[in-house]
Amino acid sequence: MLRRIIYEDWQLIFPVVALAIASLVYLAAAWRAGRMKPAQAEQLSRLPFENE
């Protein structure tokens, strides 16, 4: 039989903090990608194919 999980008030902080941290990481990555200069984006797009 399935039982519903009842969270205490202090236990709700863990999923909220985890969601906030994950959201900040993804937003920071998107921010950096959005503000990248076109020359740097072109260089990074060719990176795996360069032979040095």
Answer whether residue 27 is part of any domain: yes
pLDDT at 32: 94
Residue 50 confidence (pLDDT) above 70: no
Structure tokens belonging to residue 46:
């060719």
Residue 38 confidence (pLDDT) above 70: yes
The boundaries of the domain holding residue 40 are 22-52
pLDDT at 27: 98
Answer whether residue 30 is part of any domain: yes
Answer whether residue 39 is part of any domain: yes
Answer whether residue 3 is part of any domain: no
Answer whether residue 5 is part of any domain: no
Answer whether residue 10 is part of any domain: no
Is this model's pTM higher than 0.75 or not?
Answer: no
Burial class (CB in 10 A: 0-12, 13-18, 19+), 44: exposed
Mean pLDDT of the chain: 84
Distance CA 26, CA 5 (A): 29
pLDDT at 43: 87
